[in-house]
Amino acid sequence: MSNDATTTTDEPEIRDCAETLRELDVFLDGELSQHQQDAIRHHLDGCMDCLGAFDFHAELKIVVAQKCNNDEMPPGLLGKIERCFGTDFDGDGKIG
């Protein structure tokens, strides 16, 4: 079994649910390479579990961003949400 990480390949690297969900936040931030995005989309096409999690994260992120911009978020709530998801929703570089 070769484990040569230097081998370049055009095959998508992201193949399982755990890895897809791990890349989810980066994907939503648009910071993945086109190749990685394609791999995630390909996985989501065939996996309802990840698709559900992905949709939820994507919608939540949009709603939170809107509320941040509109000042509708009660003080402290954003921090709770960020800690819950481990995601920096408002883009201030810190969680909580």
Residues 14-33 that bind Zn ion (CB under 5 A): 17
What backbone phi and psi angles, to 5 degrees, belong to 7? -65, 125
Of the pair 17, 65, the CB lying nearest Zn ion is at 17
Tokens of 80: 């709770």
CB of 40 vs Zn ion, minimal distance in Å: 10
Based on the shown chain and the rule CB under 5 A, indicate whether residue 47 belongs to the binding site for Zn ion: yes
d(CA 70, CA 7): 48
Among 39, 40, 50, 81, binds Zn ion (CB under 5 A): 50
Tokens of 60: 């939540």
CB of 31 vs Zn ion, minimal distance in Å: 20
Q: What ranges in 15-90 are assigned the alpha helix state H? A: 17-22, 24-28, 34-46, 48-70, 77-85
Based on the shown chain and the rule CB under 5 A, indicate whether residue 39 belongs to the binding site for Zn ion: no
Binding residues (CB under 5 A) for Zn ion: these are 17, 47, 50
